[in-house]
Chains A and B, each alone.
Chain A
Amino acid sequence: MFGVPANQAAEMLIEEINASGGIGGVKVRPIFVDEGPGVAHFVGEYRRLVQSEKVDIVFAAISSADCLACAPLAEELKRPTILWDCSTQRIFEENRYDYVFRTIGNSTPEILAPLLYLLKMKPDFKTVSVINQDYVWGRDSWAMFTAALNVLKPGVRVVSEMFPKFGATDFSTEITRLLALRPEVILNASWGGDLDAFIRQASDRRLFERSTLVMPLGESSLERVGKSLPPGHIIGARGDHWFLHPKPADPKLLATFTEAFHRRTGIYPIYPCHHMAQAIFATKKAYEIALARKNGGWPNDAELAAAFKGLEFPSLTGTVRIREDGQGVQDMIMGTTHLSDRYAFRILTDMIVFPGEMVTAPVGQVSLDWLRTLKPEMLGRIPQPVPFKA
């Protein structure tokens, strides 16, 4: 679902790097491993890559469970490891690492930005429901959403909480209940086939006419669900990842990547592609810094790891900064689904790019505790929405 497009993005970008001479004159040789079989398999593969294949750096992983398992291992083996896609905030809030870095934001901005966007665009809602997958992200994201909602807009009534099992294919009963309850807002932080199936089934039964859906990971489903998703619903992208970003730092970079990826795969790049690009761009930049610090000498593991601390590197749309605790800080884009004749699926309008610092818990603070300290005054600092321009 996410591994394949990210893999395709990696192959494309590494080909480009190697075509231009590699990193410090050294060609990059990627080894791809499927993390699908589970944590035990993944940990074994991590050890194999480091100890047998002797890779210089590891990019891991999509699953937060895999990241939680490999972070201590990376520290033990002292091998620089990039958490390129997993988002659990626990990694850097519960431990300190010298060899582990995340080149994207974490769960907190991914759920706070959708809430702030909702409060900006639809401030008068009084009832909310949740339908999330029954696993760590589904439960954690709802806990964070309600923690922030309770302080930013007290008094909103939660009319139902549903956590269908991960990988569910039939949401008809949940949809009937939501149709009967008529919540003004429904949070659905699901992703992949679960979210696609929910959107199609909800669309067939006109749930979108009764409630506003907030889908923090919806960007990755937009092209797949096509016109099933009506206009007027709230979409997030786990970062400022959007191929029609209203103000990319380097418009040519984004356009070139989007066009090349679409030509190669037939689909538009979704957020895992952006995440992979960020991991590759960060690695290239860290090597360049480490090489410069050593006057062109190839850096060892500790020297490379040191180059990641405080690193600022370009993403496809903006700039990402890696803090002293290893956590990346990046902007979050939110938008509302919109009709366009140019695309066979919904695109975004009324886009707001939230500054990373605004929606990320500061270093040393636990996200859930930090969210409870937010003040409604922060709503006044939300940037103005930018409409889609054809």
Chain B
Amino acid sequence: MSAWFVENGMLLGLATLDGVSSAASVFMVAVGLNLVFGVLRVLNVAHGSLYAIGGYAAASTSLFLLARGMPAWAALPLLLVSSAIVGGILGPPIERLLRLMQGQEEVLQLLVTFALFMILEDGQKLVWGVRPVVSDAPVKVLGTIEVPFGSDAIPFTAYQLLVLPGVALLTLAVLAFVLRRTLFGRMIVAVTVDREAARAMGIDAGRVTLLTFSAGAALAALGGALASPTTSLVPGIGASTIVLSFAVVATAGLGQIEGAALSAFMIGLGRSLAVYFAPELEVVVPYLIMVAVLLVRPQGLFGTLEARRI
């Protein structure tokens, strides 16, 4: 065993770096999905479309402004701005629709969000066509970092090593702070745990739900925006992301923020380790992890959100 570690230790290091950046990408989408489920109790399949639209919007806006003289570095903050705009525009109408589904059978809720997903997928084709859309300015502007690997050095993009994990950690910290330390965060927790009791306490549950859903939508859009500089945006990009996000959310436990971060890390690391040591298992590893966790803890790693008695 120790001989194996000596031989593969450096590869494990590389796999961990890849796993962290992969986890950061999927966390951004999964955490939004988790937030939305918390307040609406609806598993929103259309969350994947918000990811795709966020990516398309960021890339298109970036290309448009770069062609008109915007400096390349400005493409980075533009990812955040375009995501907020997508969340702000698409969040409220979708939230209105999904609120109608509250209390309905879960199958019906899933079908409605799936239908919405299909409509938004076709909407993307109408707006952006089927040709791949790419804007890689944020990656180019930051350059690469050489990671030592024995006598060799492996180039990673600074975007992959610093920006993706950095934004994910910042998102986690901000969400944890807002939910635990602010009045609005406590209102979100109250609505999540018991909507009726929250209303009885004078909380405007509708407004809290609307704002939380829009924030979740913006996080999905930010996930897509962060992915856009490294990939080609094509129809169907949202579908594969949402399936992986479901695995993260199920592993974490519905409604869990820190759990989503931990399970995203487990799944990201599991996938990258598989690529190095058992490539045939790469696709199935996230779901193997999910099944293993759910067999032991059916409520997920962190269970469901519970109110604290004060």
Q: Mark B8-20, 1 if CB is under 8 A from A, else 0.
A: 0001001101110
Of the residues A192, A201, A206, A228, contact of B234 by C-beta under 8 Å: A192
Residues of A near B237 (CB, < 8 A) are: 167, 169, 193
Q: Using A1-B130, A173-B18 as known contacts, say yes or no to A197 and B11 having CB atoms under 8 A apart.
A: no
A165 to B271, CA, bound (A): 12
Residues of A near B22 (CB, < 8 A) are: 170, 172-173
Count residues of B near A (Cβ-Cβ below 8 Å): 42
Cβ-defined contact, A204 with B283, below 8 A: no
Cβ-defined contact, B149 with A169, below 8 A: no
Q: Using A173-B272, A177-B276 as known contacts, say yes or no to A204 and B227 having CB atoms under 8 A apart.
A: no
Chain B CB within 10 Å, residue with most, of A160, A172, A177, A180: A172
Cβ-defined contact, A204 with B134, below 8 A: no
Tell me, yes or no, whether B282 is within 8 Å of chain A by CB: yes
Tell me, yes or no, whether A369 is within 8 Å of chain B by CB: no
Residues of B near A196 (CB, < 8 A) are: 132, 134, 232
Tell me, yes or no, whether A136 is within 8 Å of chain B by CB: no
Cβ-defined contact, B154 with A1, below 8 A: no
Chain B CB within 10 Å, residue with most, of A134, A168, A169: A169
Tell me, yes or no, whether A200 is within 8 Å of chain B by CB: yes
Cβ-defined contact, A206 with B144, below 8 A: yes
Q: Using A163-B279, A193-B234 as known contacts, say yes or no to A176 and B18 having CB atoms under 8 A apart.
A: yes
Residues of B near A163 (CB, < 8 A) are: 279-280
A191 to B79, CA, bound (A): 28
Tell me, yes or no, whether A17 is within 8 Å of chain B by CB: no
Enumerate B211-256 residues with CB–CB distance to A below 8 Å: 227, 230-234, 236-237, 240
Residues of A near B21 (CB, < 8 A) are: 172
A134 to B134, CA, bound (A): 24
Cβ-defined contact, A204 with B231, below 8 A: no
Residues of A near B157 (CB, < 8 A) are: 204-205
A182 to B155, CA, bound (A): 13
Residues of B near A174 (CB, < 8 A) are: 275
A50 to B172, CA, bound (A): 57
A179 to B154, CA, bound (A): 6
Q: Using A1-B234, A173-B18, A177-B276 as known contacts, say yes or no to A204 and B140 having CB atoms under 8 A apart.
A: yes
Instruction: Pick 19 A–B contacts, CB within 8 A, sort by A.
Output: A1-B234, A162-B282, A164-B282, A164-B283, A168-B240, A169-B231, A169-B237, A170-B25, A173-B18, A173-B22, A176-B17, A176-B18, A177-B275, A180-B11, A180-B154, A200-B231, A201-B231, A204-B139, A205-B156
Which B residues form the contact surface with A (CB < 8 A)? Answer: 11, 14-15, 17-19, 21-22, 25, 129-132, 134, 136, 139-140, 144, 149, 152, 154-157, 160, 227, 230-234, 236-237, 240, 271-272, 275-276, 279-280, 282-283
A1-B131, A162-B279 given; 13 more Cβ-contact pairs under 8 Å: A1-B130, A4-B130, A172-B22, A172-B230, A173-B15, A173-B271, A176-B18, A176-B156, A177-B14, A192-B132, A193-B233, A200-B134, A224-B232
